[in-house]
C-alpha cells in the first residue's frame, strides 16, 4: 500500500494493532486507546450516573486495550461543569463498581480486560463548578480576556499551587483504591497545568522560565509516583503545542501552524525522570480553536487532515525522544475507515506505540473489536467529525453522538442546541 499524502505511512497488515503493549508494570491487550471523553453526565456529587455507566459499558464491550477515563476533578472548585466526575472518599464505591463492570464486560465480550487510566484534572481558567464561569487562572491572557483582564482575585497564588501536588497524590490514592490501573496528571487543552506551561508572564516560582512553568506538573507527577503502589501506572496527557500565537501558547513558532516542540521534548524528558510511564500527546485548546484538537469537516482555519497529521507526527517526534515509554497519539477519528491501516503504518514506523480515538468512540464504540479481530471498520458507524458532541457540551448538556447514538443524544441536541439557536 502506498503512503498517503502528507507523508503518513500506512500498512495493509494491521495485525500490529492487536499486539500487547507493556505499560509500566502492566500490559495492555492491544494498541487501541479510547481517549478521555467527558460526558458531563455525573451526579452533582461527582459519581458516575446512568449515562456515564452506559457509555463506559459500551466502551468496555468494544474491546480497547486501554480506556483513558475522562477528566476527573481533584478539587470541587476545579470542576469544568457541575456534572464532571469528582472522585472522593464518599463516592468511591460508585467508581469501584463501574471499574469492576468495565473489566467484567470486556472480559466477557472479548476475552481480556482493558487497562483503565483515570484522568486527574483541575480545570483552572475553564472551571465552571456551578454551571457558570468561575475562572481560576495561572496568568492573565489577552486572547481569552480581551481588553478586560480578570482581577487579581482570579489569579491562583503560589501557596494555592504549592498545595496541589498533594491533592493530585490524594486523588491518585483514591483512584488506586477503586481499581483504576493508573492515573494521568492532565496537562492539556488549556486547563490549569496546561496553562501554567505557557505562563511566561507570571512572576515567581511558577512562571517565566521553562523550569518554573513546568514545576507544578513535574512536582505533581513526583508526588503521585511517591504515593501509589509500584504497579500503578503514572501517566500524563499533555499539550505539545497550544495552537495560539507566541507568547501566549506553548510550542508556537514564527511560522503559523508549525509547532516548535523544543519545550515539549524537555517536558517529556522531565516527566519520564519524575516517574511517568505512559504519555499521551495532544495539541490545541478547544476554547480558543476547536479545530486544532478536533479536526472537523466544517473546519474554517485549516485543512482538517493537516490538524490530524500535526498531532500524530508531533507524537512521533516526542516518541523518538523517549524510547521505552509508550506514547499514545491523538487525532485518529478524522481518518475514518482508513484509520487501522494508517495507524498500523504509524506504529510500525515508530510514531506511537498506541493510537487514541476520541469522537469515534461515541459514534462507534465497537471499533476496537472490529479492528483487532480483523473485520475492519464498519462504514455505517464512522464519526462524521461534525462536532455536534462538542456543541452539546458547550451548551451545558451531556455530549454523545447525535448521528449514531441518536435515541439518546438527538433529542438532547434538539432541545439544548437547536431550540436555543432558534431563541437567540
Ligand X SMILES: Cc1cc2nc3c(=O)[nH]c(=O)nc-3n(C[C@H](O)[C@H](O)[C@H](O)COP(=O)(O)O)c2cc1C
Residue 288 is a binding residue for ligand X (CB under 6 A): no
Smallest separation, CB 170 to ligand X (Å): 20
Distance CA 21, CA 30 (A): 6
Q: Decide: is 357 part of the binding site for ligand X (CB under 6 A).
A: yes
Q: Does 194 bind ligand X (CB under 6 A)?
A: no
84: its cell numbers: 464532571
Residue 56: burial class (beta carbons within 10 Å; 0-12, 13-18, 19+): buried
- What's the grid cell of residue 122? 483541575
Is 41 a residue that touches ligand X (CB under 6 A)? Answer: no
Length of the chain: 424
The footprint of ligand X on residues 120-179 (CB under 6 A) is none
Q: How far is the CB of 66 from ligand X (least distance, A)?
A: 13
Among 26, 234, 288, smallest CA distance to 117 is for: 234
C-alpha cell at 348: 510500525
Point out which span in 14-22, 33-41, 248-256, 409-417 binds ligand X (CB under 6 A). Answer: 33-41
Question: Quick check: 291 binds ligand X (CB under 6 A)?
Answer: no
Binding-site member from 33, 36, 223, 267 for ligand X (CB under 6 A) = 36
d(CA 56, CA 371): 19
- Binding residue for ligand X (CB under 6 A) from 353, 358, 382, 416? 358
Using CB under 6 A, which of 390, 404, 410, 417 touches ligand X? 390
Candidates 34-42, 162-170, 248-256, 267-275; binding stretch for ligand X (CB under 6 A)? 34-42
Minimum gap (Å) between residue 255 Cβ and ligand X:
23
When asked if residue 359 is in the footprint of ligand X (CB under 6 A), the reply is yes
Give whole-number Cα distances, 406 to 34, 386, 388, in Å: 20, 14, 11
Any contact of residue 33 with ligand X (CB under 6 A)?
no
Residue at grid coordinates 483513558? 68
Instruction: Return the residue matching grid coordinates 497519539.
Output: 329
Q: Which of 41, 70, 176, 405 binds ligand X (CB under 6 A)?
A: 70
Segment interacting with ligand X (CB under 6 A) among 42-50, 140-148, 205-213, 357-365: 357-365
Q: Which long-range contacts (CB under 8 A, 24 or more apart) does 260-266 make?
A: 261/314, 261/317, 261/318, 263/197, 263/210, 264/238, 264/239, 264/240, 264/314, 264/318, 265/317, 265/318, 265/321, 266/210, 266/214
Number of residues that bind ligand X (CB under 6 A): 27
Least CB distance to ligand X at residue 1 (A)? 22
Please confirm whether the linkage preceding 309 is cis (ω < 30° from 0).
Answer: no
Stretch that binds ligand X, among 30-38, 44-52, 221-229, 416-424 (CB under 6 A): 30-38
Strand 21-23 and strand 26-28: the pairing is: antiparallel
- Site residues (vs ligand X, CB under 6 A): 35-38, 70-71, 119, 188-189, 237, 282, 293-295, 330-334, 357-360, 389-390, 393, 399
Amino acid at each position: 500500500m502506498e503512503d498517503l499524502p502528507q507523508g503518513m505511512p500506512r500498512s495493509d497488515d494491521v495485525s500490529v494493532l492487536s499486539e500487547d503493549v507493556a505499560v509500566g508494570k502492566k500490559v495492555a491487550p492491544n494498541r487501541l486507546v479510547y481517549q478521555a471523553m467527558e460526558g458531563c453526565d455525573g451526579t452533582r456529587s461527582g459519581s458516575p450516573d446512568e449515562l456515564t455507566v452506559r457509555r463506559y459499558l459500551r466502551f468496555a464491550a468494544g474491546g480497547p486495550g486501554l480506556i483513558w477515563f475522562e477528566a476527573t476533578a481533584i478539587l470541587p472548585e476545579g470542576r469544568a461543569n457541575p456534572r464532571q466526575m469528582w472522585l472522593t472518599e464518599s463516592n468511591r464505591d460508585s467508581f469501584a463498581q463501574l471499574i469492576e463492570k468495565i473489566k467484567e464486560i470486556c472480559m466477557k465480550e472479548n476475552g481480556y480486560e482493558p487497562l483503565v487510566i483515570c484522568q486527574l484534572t483541575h480545570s483552572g481558567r475553564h472551571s465552571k463548578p456551578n454551571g457558570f464561569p468561575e475562572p481560576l487562572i495561572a496568568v492573565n491572557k489577552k486572547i481569552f480576556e480581551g481588553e478586560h483582564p480578570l482581577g487579581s482575585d482570579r489569579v491562583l497564588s503560589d501557596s494555592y499551587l504549592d498545595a496541589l501536588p498533594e491533592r493530585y497524590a490524594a486523588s491518585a490514592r483514591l483512584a488506586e483504591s477503586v481499581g483504576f490501573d493508573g492515573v494521568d496528571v492532565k496537562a492539556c487543552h488549556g486547563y490549569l497545568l496546561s496553562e501554567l506551561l505557557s505562563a511566561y508572564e507570571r512572576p515567581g516560582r511558577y512562571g517565566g522560565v521553562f523550569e518554573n512553568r513546568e514545576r507544578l506538573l513535574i512536582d505533581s507527577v513526583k508526588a503521585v509516583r511517591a504515593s501509589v503502589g509500584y504497579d500503578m501506572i503514572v501517566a500524563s496527557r499533555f499539550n505539545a503545542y497550544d495552537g495560539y500565537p507566541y507568547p501566549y501558547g506553548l510550542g508556537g513558532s514564527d511560522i503559523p501552524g508549525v509547532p516548535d516542540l523544543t519545550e515539549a521534548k524537555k517536558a517529556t524528558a522531565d516527566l519520564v525522570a519524575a516517574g511517568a510511564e505512559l504519555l499521551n500527546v495532544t495539541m490545541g485548546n478547544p476554547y480558543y480553536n476547536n479545530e486544532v484538537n478536533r479536526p472537523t469537516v466544517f473546519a474554517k482555519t485549516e485543512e482538517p487532515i493537516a490538524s490530524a497529521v500535526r498531532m500524530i507526527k508531533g507524537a512521533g517526534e516526542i516518541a523518538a525522544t523517549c524510547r521505552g515509554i509508550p506514547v499514545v497519539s491523538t487525532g485518529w477519528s478524522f481518518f475514518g475507515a482508513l484509520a487501522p491501516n494508517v495507524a498500523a503504518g504509524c506504529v510500525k514506523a515508530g510514531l506511537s506505540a498506541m493510537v487514541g480515538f476520541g469522537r469515534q468512540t461515541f459514534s462507534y464504540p465497537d471499533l476496537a473489536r472490529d479492528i483487532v479481530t480483523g473485520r475492519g471498520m464498519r462504514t455505517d458507524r464512522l464519526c462524521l467529525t461534525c462536532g455536534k458532541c462538542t456543541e452539546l457540551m458547550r451548551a451545558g448538556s451531556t455530549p454523545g453522538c447525535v448521528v449514531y447514538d441518536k435515541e439518546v443524544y438527538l433529542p438532547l441536541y434538539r432541545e439544548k442546541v437547536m431550540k436555543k439557536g432558534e431563541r437567540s
